[in-house]
Amino acid sequence: MFVEVTKLDEIAPGGMKAYEVNGKEIVLCNYDGKIYAVSRRCGHMNSPLEMGTLEGYILTCPLHSSQFDITTGEALSGPVPTDLGNEPIPENLMRYFQYVSTIQSKIKTYNIETYPVKVEGNSIMVDV
Ligand code: FES
């Protein structure tokens, strides 16, 4: 059943925003003037996707940079190791980062859910 989530002018072109609808966390994305609704939680380790970046139809997770196609929910790529830059890092801390990076690289990235969207006047309606 479609429910009104927000108004069309709330989602800027190229932007995204998180909402909770009927107990589900979703992100509305404005790609090329069309609104898409996807799960808010990353298919890798549940990071809040609205904190990532949206370039065209590709949403990149803020935590480990897995990428998703917002039109289908398909996981396009998995996590990438965090760039620690060139600053010297104490050896113990470096070992810890390497350990965490090894573990997170073994966690599968699943597709994210998508939801049907329709726009009626200025209202964005989503079927969750
Ligand atoms: S939580 Fe999104 S890529 Fe790891």
The CATH number covering residue 55 comes to 2.102.10.10
Residue 87 has what pLDDT?
Answer: 86
Candidate of 45, 59, 83, 105 to mutate for ligand 1, largest count of ligand atoms within 8 Å of Cβ: 45
Residue 6 has what pLDDT?
Answer: 98
Q: Work out how many domains the chain is built from and give that number.
A: 1
Residue 82 has what pLDDT?
Answer: 77
Say how many Å lie between the CA of residue 10 and the centre of ligand 1: 26
- Domain contains 103: no
- Domain contains 98: no
Residue 84 has what pLDDT?
Answer: 78
| Distance from the first to the final alpha carbon of the chain | 7
Q: How far apart are CA 81 and CA 30, in angstroms?
A: 28
Per-residue pLDDT of 81-126, as tens digits, reads: 877 788 888 999 999 988 998 999 999 999 999 999 999 999 999 9
pLDDT confidence band for 8 (50 / 70 / 90) = very high
- Domain contains 47: yes
Residue 83 has what pLDDT?
Answer: 78
List strands edge to edge, sheet with 114-115.
Answer: 16-21, 24-31, 34-39, 114-115
Cβ atoms of 111 and 68 closer than 8 Å: yes
Say how many Å lie between the CA of residue 104 and the centre of ligand 1: 8
Per-residue pLDDT of 20-63, as tens digits, reads: 999 999 999 999 999 999 999 999 999 999 999 999 999 999 99
- Domain contains 11: yes
Query: What domain range includes position 55?
Result: 2-80+109-127
